[in-house]
């Protein structure tokens, strides 16, 4: 898996060197995976959306040409895929903090985005415990809100939303649960593939059920399919949030599975000492071989 990801990054770098658009669909073909999974894997492993990485890498390569006074700034803009110096300057300033002309005149400090490559880094010999569960179609029934994505630390928007539901609604949702994963769930849906910090998603306080939604609650239909189930225990919410890191950083590079579109389910049990136990359910499918 990792060697295919690096081959896809080679394709990206070739496009940047040619001043051509980066074709993420073609990258996914080289990586032998779906574009959906490639975008999410890159964001999880590199810590930045692939689109942002492309923009910063393109301007890193462009900076060397900007400092070469044998080239006009229009030559540089055209070489890196821009139709005008104005558009190029906007992109250059967004990364480096100065215009291309200022960089050339003043030799101002510039920003370099190193090239990303993925390597397997072993930390001890502990095995990762996981389950693959095949589920029939089911419903998620509960309440939802549009909230910002927070990678680490408390998500105050989610906390305020759940607190605002009231005890009666939370008990109503809990009573609807009739299958795995049991109990009230934190559900993430309609995420941007970039998974950029601050991007928005639909957060559901919901239960997995075969029942219909009672008045006042909403329903999300989930098709049949396979699910990757990972568990973790530790400080809340960090240990739970690390489940996504473990999935993309350890499980997927080592196993012939990839994510498929669908909601992501987190079941959490909180303890009095500030720790918790979490179970993350990700919709998956076998890798194409």
Q: Is residue 117 part of a domain?
A: no
Residues 149 and 238 in one domain: yes
Do both 137 and 278 map to the same domain? Answer: yes
Whether 136 is covered by a domain: the verdict is: yes
User: CATH number of the domain that 155 lies in?
Assistant: 3.20.80.10
- Compute the C-alpha angle 134/138/144, nearest 5°: 120
One domain for residues 244 and 282: yes
What are the pLDDT digits (tens) for 86-112? 999 999 999 999 999 999 999 888 998
* 97 and 177 both lie in a single domain: no
Res. 121: pLDDT tops 60: no
pLDDT greater at residue 166 or residue 236: 166
- Count: domains in the chain: 2
Picking from 72, 106, 140, the residue at the C-terminal end of a domain is: 106
**DSSP-derived pairing of the beta strands 138-148 and 257-259:** unpaired
- Res. 235: pLDDT tops 70: yes
The DSSP-derived string for 173-198 is HHHH--SSSPS-EEEEES--TT--TT
Assigned domain for 111 exists: no
Q: Is 119 domain-assigned?
A: no
Closest CA to 46 of 8, 75, 94: 8
Query: 246: domain range?
Result: 130-286
For 63, counting Cβ atoms within 10 Å of its Cβ (0-12 exposed, 13-18 middle, 19+ buried), the class is: buried
Give the bridge partners for 204, in sequence order: 144, 187
- In this structure, are 102 and 42 located in the same domain? yes
Instruction: Let me know whether 210 and 281 are in one domain.
Output: yes
Residue 26: is it exposed, middle or buried by C-beta count within 10 angstroms (0-12/13-18/19+)? middle
Q: Tell me the β-bridge partners of 283.
A: 227
Pairing type for strands 275-286 and 264-270 reads: antiparallel
Q: Provide the CATH number for the domain around residue 67.
A: 1.10.10.60
- Considering the domain boundaries, does residue 266 fall inside one? yes
242 located within any domain = yes
Q: For residue 134, what are the contacts with CB-CB under 8 A and spacing of at least 6?
A: 224, 225, 226, 227
Residue 122, domain member (yes or no): no
Check whether residue 135 and residue 19 sit in a common domain.
Answer: no
Instruction: Return the ∠ at Cα 36 (arms to 210 and 147), rounded to 5°.
Output: 65
pLDDT at residue 128 tops 70: no
Range with lowest mean pLDDT among 65-74, 168-177, 218-227, 266-275: 266-275
Same domain assignment for residues 172 and 266 = yes
Domain check: are 170 and 255 in the same one?
A: yes
Final residue belonging to a domain, choices 38, 72, 106: 106
Q: What is the largest CA-CA distance in the chain?
A: 72
289 pLDDT tier (thresholds 50, 70, 90): low
Per-residue pLDDT, averaged over 161-171, amounts to 94
Backbone φ and ψ for 104, nearest 5 degrees, come out as -70, -40
For residue 125, the model assigns a pLDDT of: 40
Q: What average pLDDT does this structure show over 234-249?
A: 84
CB atoms within 10 A of CB 13: 15
Query: Are 89 and 200 in the same domain?
Result: no
- The label of the residue with tokens 């473990």 reads 246
Same domain for 203 and 82, yes or no, is no
Residues 146, 102, single domain; the answer is no
Residue 123, in any domain of the structure: no
Which residue in 250, 249, 247, 231 sits closest to 283, CA to CA?
Answer: 247
Beta-bridge partners for 234: 276
């Amino acid at each position: 898996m990792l060697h295919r990801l690096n081959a896809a990054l080679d394709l990206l770098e070739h496009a940047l060197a040619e001043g051509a658009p980066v074709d993420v669909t073609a990258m996914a073909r080289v990586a032998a995976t779906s574009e959906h999974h490639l975008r999410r894997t890159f964001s999880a492993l590199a810590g930045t959306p692939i689109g942002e990485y492309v923009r910063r890498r393109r301007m890193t390569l462009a900076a060397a040409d900007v400092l070469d006074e044998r080239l006009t700034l229009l030559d540089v803009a055209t070489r890196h895929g821009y139709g005008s110096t104005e558009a190029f300057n906007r992109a250059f300033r967004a990364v480096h903090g100065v215009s291309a002309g200022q960089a050339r005149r003043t030799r101002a400090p510039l920003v370099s985005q190193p090239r990303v490559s993925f390597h397997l880094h072993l930390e001890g010999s502990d095995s990762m415990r996981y389950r693959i569960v095949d589920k029939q179609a089911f419903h998620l029934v509960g309440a939802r809100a549009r909230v910002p994505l927070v990678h680490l630390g408390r998500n105050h928007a989610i906390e305020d939303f759940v607190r605002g539901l009231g005890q009666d609604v939370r008990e109503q949702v809990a009573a609807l649960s009739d299958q795995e994963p049991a109990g009230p769930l934190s559900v993430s849906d309609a995420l941007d593939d970039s998974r950029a910090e601050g991007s928005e998603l639909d957060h559901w306080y919901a239960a997995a059920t075969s029942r219909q939604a009672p008045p006042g609650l909403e329903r999300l239909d989930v098709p049949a399919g396979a699910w990757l189930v990972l568990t973790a225990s530790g400080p809340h919410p960090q240990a739970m949030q690390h489940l996504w890191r473990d999935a993309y950083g350890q499980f997927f590079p080592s196993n012939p599975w990839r994510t498929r579109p669908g909601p992501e389910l987190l079941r959490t049990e909180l303890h009095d000492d500030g720790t918790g136990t979490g179970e993350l359910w990700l919709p998956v499918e076998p890798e194409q071989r």
